[in-house]
Amino acid sequence: MNIKSLGHQAVLLLVPITLALALGCSHWIGLIGGDDLRYAVRAHRVWSERTPLAMTRLHDRRIGMYGLIGLSFSLFGVSETSLAIVPLLSTAATAAALAVLGQQLFGRAVGLIAGAMYALFPLNVYYATIAVPEPIASLEMTLAAICFVQAKTQRGSDPLAVAAGLLAGLAYLTTEAGSLILPVLIVYGIVMRYDLRTQFSPAAGFLFILLLAGYGKSR
């Protein structure tokens, strides 16, 4: 890869990231006292007090949320800002990842437009600093798609396809709607005539995450 190509890749990534961060910070909302407050309280209990989740309510099952929020609390302390950092960085990363996905499928120009449009979309700007699952799950789902699309062109692609399933599983553990990426990947693999084993490797990765999460709950 020459310097010109590196420059193009830098623009592809930095434009969506800069737009997402600038708009998110300029339209900062932060804590609204709804579901985000419940996520913050549960994450603090799990990470700081080592209190196990009951797993009897919908929000208790979204352990993907608690992991990232708890990590942010551990690094930056418990505050409204450290809570908002998680969706803000997730939104920026998703914009960049969508640009990469668009480039994989249709070329650099389409990727750049897709990433920029995601960063500019009003709902994404609104939720960029509110601790809800959608920004995080969107990142995980987009990364899953990148891995699976890349598996088409790379030799020894099964690990990438499994990684796509693992990311789909993480998206499911962030919000139940995250699981919707799995059938999309499988159908895409069938339509694009992937190797049969590669077509269903995401399902194996997804199942592994579910089994791992189930084992953790049973302990």
Of 110, 131, 152, which one is at a domain's C-terminal end? 131
Same domain, 16 and 83: yes
Same domain, 22 and 112: yes
Same domain, 119 and 166: no
Same domain, 186 and 107: no
Same domain, 121 and 195: no
* Helices marked H in the chain: 3-26, 35-48, 63-76, 80-106, 108-120, 122-127, 133-153, 158-174, 181-191, 196-218
Of 98, 131, 164, which one is at a domain's C-terminal end? 131
What torsion do the CA atoms of 12, 92, 136, 160 make, to the nearest 10 degrees?
A: 20
Same domain, 99 and 142: no
Of 88, 110, 131, which one is at a domain's C-terminal end? 131
Same domain, 51 and 63: yes
C-alpha dist (Å) from residue 12 to 23, 48, 101, 112, 120: 18, 39, 11, 5, 15
**In which domain, by residue range, is 24 found?**
1-131
pTM here is: 0.91
Same domain, 24 and 126: yes
Per-residue pLDDT of the chain (219 residues; tens, 9 = 90+): 677 788 889 999 999 999 999 999 999 999 998 889 988 988 888 777 655 554 445 456 688 888 899 999 989 999 999 999 999 999 999 999 999 999 999 999 999 999 999 999 999 999 999 999 999 999 999 999 999 999 987 766 789 999 999 999 999 999 999 999 999 999 999 999 998 899 999 999 999 999 988 755 555
Count: domains in the chain = 2
Selection from 154, 142, 153 nearest residue 118 by Cα: 142
Same domain, 5 and 62: yes
Selection from 183, 169, 8, 26 nearest residue 99 by Cα: 8
Same domain, 74 and 125: yes
Same domain, 111 and 28: yes
Three-state DSSP class for 79? coil
